[in-house]
Amino acid sequence: MASRVSRIDRRGISNVVATIILIAVAIALAVSVAVWVFSLSGSASKASTLTVQAVGLSGLGKGTANLVLLISNPSSSGIGLNGFTLGSLSCVFSAPVQVPAGTQGGQLTISIPVTASGNFGTSNVGVTGSGGITVPSTISVSCSGNQTAQVGIQYSGYLTTVSGQTYPFTVTASS
């Protein structure tokens, strides 16, 4: 006896349906990756955000210029300040100045000597903080550069954090 094997007609899904399913999977994957990437970048930007407002740069005619900055830190983590620039004068703190999380309008005062030749000095720079800003008691400031100290001039500068972020400000010098 001859055995007869019946052939079963097997048919898969059509090419059109397969293409639609592949496109739907690709779109779903792209959307999920985009949500993941944007949630990471959003949390990183919120983690360390300062607002810096220059109140003034006064006392140039008295031998010591006082740079007063108002700083707010609306983030949920504290931020350390590593230094600042004022024009071409760059200064680094020996220890970070701390701006705690939630600080609103904390005041940072930087006292910069004015030399007899009319430049900002690079030594004996002092730093004080109030309104939540903590300055280490043993802080020293190391400065370099040469910047003329002149009443009526608008100076650009920025604060630098320990993570390397910079926050710009502008201030006009007064006597």
Smallest CA-to-CA distance from 139 within 81, 60, 99 is with: 81
Are both 99 and 31 inside the same structural domain? no
Are both 69 and 37 inside the same structural domain? no
* Mean model confidence pLDDT for the chain: 87
- Is 159 part of any domain? yes
Q: Which percentage of the chain shows pLDDT scores above 70?
A: 88
What would the two tokens of residue 73 be? 């830190």
Task: Residue 128: give its domain's CATH number.
Answer: 2.60.40
Q: What is the pLDDT of residue 60?
A: 80
Are both 27 and 76 inside the same structural domain? no
Answer whether 118's CB lies under 8 Å from 148's CB: yes
- Span 158-165, mean pLDDT? 92
- Is 140 part of any domain? yes
Q: What is the pLDDT of residue 9?
A: 60
What would the two tokens of residue 150 be? 């002149």
Q: Is 50 exceeded by the pLDDT of residue 128?
A: yes
- Is 6 part of any domain? no
Categorize the per-residue pLDDT at 138 as very low, low, confident or very high, splitting at 50, 70 and 90.
Answer: very high
SS3 assignment, position 1 = coil
Q: What is the pLDDT of residue 171?
A: 93
Supply the range of the domain harboring residue 34.
13-47
Are both 71 and 42 inside the same structural domain? no
- Is 114 part of any domain? yes
Lowest pLDDT segment from 35-44, 61-70, 94-103, 123-132? 35-44
Domain count for the chain:
2
**Residue 140 vs residue 43, higher pLDDT:** 140
